Amino acid sequence: MLGTIVNALAIIAGSMLGLIFRGGIPEKYNKTVLQSISLAVILIGIINALKTEDMLLLIFSLVIGSILGELLRIENRLEKLGNAIENNMKKLEDFAKTNLKFLQKLSKRSLSSTSSNISKGFVNASLIYCIGSMAIIGALESGLTNNHQTLFAKSILDGISSIAFTSSLGIGVLFSAIPVFLYQGFITITASFMKSFLVDSVITEMSAVGGLLILALGLTMLEIKKIRVGNMLPAIFIPLLYYMLRSIF
Confidence band, pLDDT 50/70/90 cuts, at residue 53: very high
Confidence band, pLDDT 50/70/90 cuts, at residue 32: confident
Q: What is the pTM of this model?
A: 0.70
Percent of the chain with pLDDT over 70: 83
CB atoms within 10 A of CB 248: 7
Mention every residue, 6+ apart, whose C-beta is less than 8 A from residue 245.
Answer: none
Tally: H helices and E strands in the chain: 12, 0
- Pairwise CA distance, residues 33 & 137, whole Å: 27
Identify the pLDDT of residue 95.
61
- Top-confidence residue, 35 or 181: 181
Domain coverage including residue 66: 2-75+116-248
Q: How many CA atoms lie within 13 A of 189 on its CB side?
A: 6
Mention every residue, 6+ apart, whose C-beta is less than 8 A from residue 104.
Answer: 96, 97
Identify the pLDDT of residue 81.
73
pLDDT at 50 over 90: yes
Q: Is 139 inside any structural domain?
A: yes
Average pLDDT, the chain: 81
What's the length of the chain?
249
* Cβ atoms 141, 150 nearer than 8 A: yes
Please measure the distance between the N-terminal and C-terminal CA atoms of the chain and give it in whole angstroms. Answer: 33
Give Cα 72 to chain centroid, integer Å. 18
pLDDT tens per residue, range 175-206 = 889 989 998 999 899 888 877 777 888 888 98
CB-neighbour burial class of residue 124 (10 A; exposed 0-12, middle 13-18, buried 19+) = buried
Q: Is 97 inside any structural domain?
A: no
Identify the pLDDT of residue 97.
58
Q: Is 56 inside any structural domain?
A: yes
Identify the pLDDT of residue 161.
82
Identify the pLDDT of residue 156.
85
What is the total count of domains within the chain? Answer: 1
Identify the pLDDT of residue 25.
65
Q: Is 111 inside any structural domain?
A: no
- Pairwise CA distance, residues 128 & 38, whole Å: 10
- Pairwise CA distance, residues 103 & 205, whole Å: 48
DSSP 100: -
Q: Which of 176, 242, 238 is nearest to 207 (CA)?
A: 238
- Pairwise CA distance, residues 214 & 7, whole Å: 18
DSSP string, 127-147: HHHHHSHHHHHHHHHHHHH--
pLDDT tens per residue, range 110-156 = 544 444 457 777 877 887 788 666 787 788 878 876 778 888 988 98
DSSP 176: G
- Top-confidence residue, 238 or 116: 238
Identify the pLDDT of residue 111.
47
